[in-house]
Amino acid sequence: MENMAAKSHAADVVDRLWRTYAPYQRGRNTFGDLASMLAILVLARFVESEGDPEDEFVKRWGRAVAEAGIGLSPLIDLRAAMTNASRHARFPVPDLRDLNVGWLAGDEESDDIPWAAAFLVALGQRPTLAEAGLPEVGELLLERHVQEGTVSVGEFYTPRAVVRLLVELASPQPGDRILDPACGSGGLLAAAAQRIAGSGRVDGASFEAYATDRSNPRLAMMNLAIHGVDRPVVRASDPVSLFQGRNSGLFDRVISNPPFNQRVEDIDAVGWPFGQPSASNANFAWLQLAWTRLSEDGLATMIMPPRAAWSDGREAEIRKRMITSGALLGIIALPPNLFPHTSIPVHIWMLARDKSRHLPSDEADAVLFIDASRLGTQVPRQPRVLTTEDKNRIDGRLHAWLRSPRATPDETGFSCSVTHEEILENDGSLDPRLYVDVEQEWSTSTQDMDLLLGELVRHDGAMSDSNADLLRNFSRCERLTRSGIEPPRVSLVSIVSGTGEGAVEDSGPGLLVAGPSGSLIRAEDYVDAGGVPVVMPKDLTGNGFSVANIRYITERQAESLERFRLRRGDVVLARRGELGRCAVVRQEQQGWLCGTGCFVLRPPARLNADYLAAYLRSPEARKWLEAHSTGSMTMKTISLNVLGELPIVLPDLGVQQVIADAMTRLDEHERLLREQLALVQKIRRDALTGFFPS
């Protein structure tokens, strides 16, 4: 509630300040006004938080406010207050001479801020700056300047939602060194500082910030100071100069939104690691600069125009080298209309100095593509905004994928994990639309229809191969089961305990336990994506596990529930709802947790898990379970003791394996059939749309 109140106060303060300032925009050069406003806010907050009544800067500030209140110019005393405050050891901004703010230097710009008196008067009204919070006021004032100012600031402004997404993706931690080689207004580093420090301050030495010639270092410096960076320093530079002068060392994170398609001089003076960029387009100079400045564990999140993902010629060759070198973690396509004064969409490039430090060693040849181009909300004549849910969806998918690309299923219309080999087969194109399957109907152009029909032909070939495999598997089943000798039926508890007759008689015991009780995992224990998955009956599919709506608990809590952790080869069985629903644990589910509504069945070494799962799904087993269940018609329940009495048809291990293989082939054949049916339906819809256009 306090946070909401502070945000409301901040909106009130900024609205009051802007209405005071707005009439003074006409007929003036207003380019430096925003930096001057932020400087006054920094001084006001410092006077309030650090000043004593006897301090000279407090006295001069008070005099400036009094002069403003009676309509006199406060600039002389305001300048003196700032000069005196800057000598204080805890003043958040370094040498003021580096700021190049005219009214501080007393030059000809001093008379060109006629709004200063009214601004100071408005600043003293309620709610106050202390009630609103300096960082929130600074961000809202910058947004207001972008929306209503007379000078276009789109070049150096990144919307707050995009800023926070970039920072969340990079996940900077305390102690990290962070670089923004094209910092604009400093918003990205400011957000990184807030994430690291919470409400405290961050040593300015942890950051290195540069502004391009078209940006404003003094604005960035003030913005960083407002957001808790202690004595920040921002200098002007370009990618070639930064590449040549690497005396400041390496960085744990590089976060940036550099200017697109910028021309850079002396591009051939540098030995670029992946190839020389074009002098007329610095996009790949910025990307290579970011990569070279990363430490061994370093990550970079960079905003790029979509063209950088698919352009040909020299840039295509650079992309291929980046891919084969393992520099690229992922590409995220954002929606259009996010940025003020332009509808152009952007991509986020995620780079790693060493991918093997961020992905499982045997999965480091994967690249994640996310197509978020349809996310966000927009009202007429306003930029599109990414919601908190949008940002969480993107960030959650990335961090789930980083744990294991293979265990993270692709999401139609949103994400896809692709190998280096497949990308190189597409000539190094990194356009997410090329890899992420679309949800909407496909284009009806002749070229698209040819692709669809070609895909149908390939499906026919796969179906033919699958048919042959099925015939071979079922022929083997018939030969092994036609002896006329009926296999024994053994209770499940006897099989698990290793006391049953026949094939499992001399094998070691297995395990059959119910999932943890509700008192061990409470509703409030579940966390957002990022912990240990907890398998519930809804997460069991016909032949595996679904993670679409799976819940998580922390790793720390999971350690206290070790006896319920899943191992490869376990069978997870629903204890309520659709009885007989089960799935075999594969390597991807190793270490997950059995939930409250399930049983864990760990077969003995000589019992085939896939055969057991196939039998549990059989009509015979389901009928027995339903007959021995309790509960209502819509929510049947089976107890652990009753489940143990379930009779299992138990042939020898060789027959079990053949039957399990046949069921696996049927599962694969069903998947191919569903894909082929969906493809035929798409072809039908697109063909009709083409024949009868609206």
Structural domains counted in the chain = 4
Task: Look over the chain and give the mean of its residue pLDDT values, rounded to a whole number.
Answer: 83
| Per-residue pLDDT tens digits for 484-502 | 667 888 899 888 887 755 5
Contact between residue 567 and residue 550 where contact means Cβ atoms under 8 Å apart: no
CB neighbour class for 298 (10 Å; exposed up to 12, middle 13-18, buried from 19): buried
CATH code: domain of residue 403: 3.40.50.150
Q: Are 308 and 265 in a shared domain?
A: yes
DSSP 575-638: SBSSTT-EEE--GGGTT-EE-TTEEEEE--TTS-HHHHHHHHTSHHHHHHHHHT-EE-SSSEE-
Could you tell me what percent of the chain has a pLDDT over 90? 30
Tell whether 284 and 411 lie within a shared domain. yes
pLDDT attached to residue 151: 60
What's phi and psi for 350, nearest 5 deg? -110, 120
Domain identity same for 136 and 174 = no
Domain co-membership, 169 together with 236: yes
Quote the pLDDT of residue 505.
Answer: 45
Per the omega criterion (within 30 degrees of 0), is the bond before 127 cis? yes
Q: Do 168 and 107 have their domain in common?
A: no
Rounded mean pLDDT, 603-618:
87
Q: CA 111 to CA 103: how far, in whole Å?
A: 8
* Per-residue pLDDT, 588: 87
CATH code at position 618: 3.90.220.20
Encode pLDDT of 449-462 as tens digits: 667 777 777 777 77
Look at residue 147 in the predicted model and tell me its pLDDT: 75
Residues 403 and 459: beta-carbon distance below 8 Å:
no
Mean pLDDT in residue range 632-652: 87
Beta-bridge mates of residue 369: 331, 416
Both 202 and 230 in a single domain? Answer: yes
In terms of domains, do 216 and 330 share one? yes
- Residues contacting residue 691 through CB under 8 Å, at least 6 positions apart: none
Same domain as 464, residue 360: no
Query: In terms of residue numbers, what domain contains 456?
Result: 442-487+651-694
190 and 220 housed in the same domain: yes
pLDDT of amino acid 323:
95
| Average confidence (pLDDT) over 459-487 | 70
Q: Are residues 630 and 675 in the same domain?
A: no
pLDDT band at residue 101 under the 50/70/90 scheme: low
| pLDDT recorded at residue 457 | 75
Work out the pLDDT band at 523, boundaries 50, 70, 90: confident
* pLDDT for residue 424: 93
Does residue 458 share a domain with residue 424? Answer: no
**Which region among 1-10, 174-183, 308-317, 526-535 has the lowest average model confidence (pLDDT)?**
1-10
Q: Locate 140 and state its tokens.
A: 């809202």
Question: Do 577 and 544 contact (CB within 8 A), yes or no?
Answer: no
Output the pLDDT for position 503.
44
pLDDT higher than 80, residue 310: yes
What's the pLDDT score for residue 574?
Answer: 92
Q: How far is CA 451 from the centre of its chain?
A: 32
DSSP 247-273: TT--EEEEEE-PPTT---TTGGGS--S
Q: How far apart are CA 668 and CA 512, in angstroms?
A: 29
pLDDT band at 657 (very low <50, low <70, confident <90, very high): confident
- Lowest-confidence range among 95-109, 185-199, 513-527, 677-691? 95-109
pLDDT of amino acid 38: 86
Q: In angstroms, how far is the first alpha carbon of the chain from the final one?
A: 51
Q: What is the pLDDT of residue 668?
A: 78
Question: Residue 354's pLDDT is what?
Answer: 92
Q: Are 301 and 163 in contact (CB under 8 A)?
A: no
**Chain segment 238-296, per-residue pLDDT in tens:** 778 887 776 667 999 999 999 888 888 888 877 899 999 888 888 999 999 999 999 99
Three state DSSP letters for 96-152? HHHCCCHHHHCCHHHHHCCCHHHHHHHHCCCCCHHHHCHHHHHHHHHHHHHHHCCCC
pLDDT category of residue 542 using cuts at 50, 70 and 90: confident
Q: What is the pLDDT of residues 56-93, one digit of tens each?
A: 989 999 999 999 899 888 988 988 888 888 888 888 87
More confident residue, 322 or 42: 322
194-243 pLDDT, tens digit per residue, is 888 765 667 767 888 888 755 567 778 888 888 878 777 788 887 788 87
> What percentage of the chain exceeds 70 in pLDDT?
87
Q: What is the mean pLDDT of residues 99-108?
A: 54
> Which position has the higher pLDDT, 344 or 105?
344
| Same domain, residue pair 557 and 627 | yes
